[in-house]
Amino acid sequence: MSEAVAGEPVVAAEVHSPGQLIAHEIMEREKQYLLQNYGRYPLALDRGKGCYVYDFDGRRYLDLLSGIGVNALGHGHPRIVKAIREQSAKMIHCSNLYYNEYQGRLAERLCRISHLDRAFFCNSGAEAMEGAIKMVRAHGRSISPEKYEIISLENSFHGRTIGAISVTGQPKYRKDFEPLLPGVKFVPVRDDRALASAVNDRTAGIILEVIQGEGGGHPICERMLHAARREADRVDALLVFDEIQCGVGRAGFFFAYQQFNPEVLPDVMVTAKPLGVGIPLGVVVANQKGAAAIKTGMHGTTFGGGPLACHVALETLDIIAEMLPSIRQRGDYFRSQLNDLCSKFEFVREVRARGLMLGIDLKMPGKAFVTDAMAEGLLINCTHDTVLRFLPPFIITEKEIDSAVRILRKLFKKGNGYYKEYLKEQKAAAAASQ
């Protein structure tokens, strides 16, 4: 997992069944041979079908997280299986020394739907963000060597590479790796005045997530988007939208910036997660101005844009194009069910939702709900300590949403006890500090 649970201790599984024995062996081997950078949940998964995943005992879990927003079409979608089967038999990879049939077709499709002009393919969200940062730097440098500053938002998350953490506005991701890229400034999420005063002639780019995912599902307001567009134009900087989590249909539009009318267009947009529905694929899409910054030899990658990944992504976009109305409808349904549920519990601060990107912000840490949910056969996660996050597959049905909400109701009843405990602890801590 690229975010959220990294660093937490692994809990050893109890071994009572053949499946648990297999899981236990898997966990022990990983404990010995893998970098201990992930704090995984004590669950080993064997297979998936539709919106469900199964452990080694065949126990079923309703997957409301879809591999952190990747498995948007669920598991084993027949059209995706067919595309993978056919393409993998024909050709998986050929490098960027040669042309393949699908890279240009996918670029054309992405340019049409994003209203931008040129694409560069890579393998992950962070790598796409690196490409965008290089584009911003090269654009600035083509104007002046002093023009290298980047403005980003507090609470943002842009990935784990050095460039991506340099523009990530959460100290916990940055602190162990400093010094990072120089010239990055962070401004509050909804403060267009702070943005305007941070931007100057040295600004080469402004980077933001249209909906902050890992930061807790906060949508950027339309005013801030317009301000970012205006400020970027004022100083000839590139405006970059990170649509890695909120893009490719997740918010009920191909890209989350398309929910506004008129649309606020970026110069550069990066996306990844569901684009290859599990086949690693990231992309930087830019207008002519952004694209002109990268000339032959300035950037590249061995794997990006291979025929398998691009063929699968074309199929994915075809399927998602048919699904956009239903993503919005299911998202509205899920939100209304969550609102109804949450109105009855004092420990809920707020429900946040855009399409099928939903979160429940709690007045206490939410980690216990994640393990309780797992025990009930429901996969969710908790981001930013207090936000229960749901990124369900786009194929989720109302019936499946109802069953998830039924489980959440049961957990929240137990949560009343957690909240009482939490308040008691807070009170004791406050008394001790006086």
Quickly list DSSP for 71-135: -TT-BS-HHHHHHHHHHHHH-S---TTS--HHHHHHHHHHHHHHT--EEEEESSHHHHHHHHHHH
How far are the Cα atoms of 40, 41, 333, 411 from residue 45, in angstroms, in the given order? 12, 11, 29, 23
Report d(CA 143, CA 379) in Å as an integer. Answer: 49
Answer for which of 64, 204, 244, 284 binds ligand PLP (CB under 6 A) is 244
Query: Residue 409 has which token pair?
Result: 């109701």
Under rule CB under 6 A, residue 361 binds ligand PLP = no
Under rule CB under 6 A, residue 57 binds ligand PLP = no
Q: How far is the CB of 123 from ligand PLP (least distance, A)?
A: 8
Asked whether the bond before 325 is cis by omega within 30 degrees of 0, the reply is no
Answer for which of 159, 216, 355, 393 binds ligand PLP (CB under 6 A) is 159
Answer for which of 209, 267, 372, 400 binds ligand PLP (CB under 6 A) is 209
Report d(CA 328, CA 334) in Å as an integer. Answer: 10
Q: Element (H or E) spanning 212, and its range?
A: strand 211-212
Number of residues near ligand PLP (by CB under 6 A): 17
Stretch that binds ligand PLP, among 32-40, 206-214, 286-294, 354-362 (CB under 6 A): 206-214
Under rule CB under 6 A, residue 77 binds ligand PLP = no
Q: How far is CA 131 from the centre of its chain?
A: 17
Question: What is the contact mask toward ligand PLP in residues 121 to 140, using x (rule: CB under 6 A)?
Answer: ---xxx--x-----------
Q: How far is the CB of 210 from ligand PLP (least distance, A)?
A: 9
Under rule CB under 6 A, residue 216 binds ligand PLP = no
Under rule CB under 6 A, residue 2 binds ligand PLP = yes
How far are the Cα atoms of 107, 270, 298 from residue 138, in angstroms, in the given order? 22, 17, 9
Question: What is the contact mask toward ligand PLP in residues 284 to 323, using x (rule: CB under 6 A)?
Answer: ----------------------------------------
Residue ranges in contact with ligand PLP by CB under 6 A: 2-3, 68, 124-126, 129, 157-159, 209, 213-214, 242, 244-245, 272
